[in-house]
């Protein structure tokens, strides 16, 4: 979306992407998140293969 459109619209964006948490909050949680990845505990849904691959 063009940034030119935003000032003229009443748009509120929310979500779990960048900007939904402060940098300070992410830094506080980073060690726990990294530890979970290191021990293999995150369970992510499988990504379907693309047709023809």
CA distances from 27 to 1, 31, 34, 51 (A): 29, 8, 11, 39
**What is the residue whose two structure tokens read 């402060």?**
22
pLDDT above 80: residue 5:
no
Its sign, for the CA torsion 40, 41, 44, 46, is: positive
What is the spatial distance between Cα 17 and Cα 9, in angstroms, rounded to a whole number?
Answer: 21
pLDDT in tens, 6-48: 666 666 666 666 667 788 888 898 999 899 889 988 887 777 7
What is the spatial distance between Cα 46 and Cα 49, in angstroms, rounded to a whole number?
Answer: 9
Residue whose C-alpha is closest to residue 42's, from 33, 31, 29: 33
């Amino acid at each position: 979306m063009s940034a030119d459109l935003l000032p003229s619209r009443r748009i509120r964006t929310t979500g779990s992407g960048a900007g939904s948490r402060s940098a300070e909050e992410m830094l506080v949680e980073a060690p726990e998140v990294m530890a979970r990845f290191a021990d293999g505990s995150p369970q992510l849904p499988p990504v379907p293969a693309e047709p023809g691959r």
